[in-house]
Amino acid sequence: MLSKIKVRLIFFIYLLSSTTVFGNSSESNVLIKNQLYNFSTIKNNKDMAIDWELKGSMLIKYSNNITLIEKPFLNIYKTTSTVDIKSDTAIDPSGSMEEIYLKNNVFINREYLLDGISMKMYTSYAIFYVSKNLFETDRDVTIITSDSTTTGTGLSANMDTGIIRILSNAKRIIRDNGKSRIIEGNQMIYDANKEKWTVKDVAANDLKKIITKKVTTTFYIK
């Protein structure tokens, strides 16, 4: 994995520290392995094109491979679109960039390269599955498109297919020629490729429960 990643560093600090991290007793022997400041990491695909680039103000990797990133900014490059992701903090539980847990002021922007159409999403916590280009959250979310603002609770968003699911309490405010109209439903599905919304009466509570368990376990949220 590391052989595929090119790392550009402005500052590098390597620490073998006796400082313990985390508050519970099960993590009392976890040490800081290394620490980076103002870093930039690039992953290339087999054709040497850039898959993604991750920047941040600080990265700390612990002896159990859990990686903490402060002020992460992740750019994902696809053939027809780009995805930009920001948050206050990110946690990589395995240190392998497979799953990234984003915390506080999460912002996601998907933009099509051909026509410049963008979709912006805001939430407080989210899980990003890097290889699947998939976002999930159980928290309140806001989605802004060219003609509407949509809110709800819980989200599953596939950035590759462009299919965005608001899992419950969905409400869409449509802007049309200076006027607004509201559409509400338990669940809404947005096809970003067609810029089309579909309303469903049944909330996706089972999926939301699964996401809630993952987020709560990682961030110790009660």
Q: State residue 220's pLDDT score.
A: 47
Cα dist. 21→31, 68, 95, 205, 213 in Å? Answer: 7, 11, 16, 35, 23
Find the largest Cα–Cα distance for the chain: 63
DSSP state of 14: -
Domain membership of residue 102 as a residue range:
2-219
Structural domain count, the chain? 1
- In the block, residue with structure tokens 């439903």: 185
Non-local CB neighbours of 210 within 8 Å, separated by 6+ positions: none
Look at residue 51 in the predicted model and tell me its pLDDT: 84
Low-confidence ranges of the chain (pLDDT < 50): 1-26, 220-222
Looking up residue 151, the CATH number of its domain turns out to be 2.60.450.10
**Residue located via tokens 């590391």:** 2
pLDDT of residue 214: 63
Is the pTM above the cut of 0.85?
no
What would the pLDDT profile of 104-150 be if each residue is shown by its tens digit? 999 999 887 666 678 899 999 999 998 888 999 999 999 998 888 99
DSSP H helical ranges for the chain: 205-219
Rg of the chain, C-alpha, whole Å = 19
Write down the pLDDT at residue 31.
87
pLDDT at residue 215 in the model: 58
**Residue 4, both tokens:** 């595929």
How far, in Å, CA of 164 to CA of 175, rounded?
20
pLDDT in tens, 52-62: 899 999 999 99
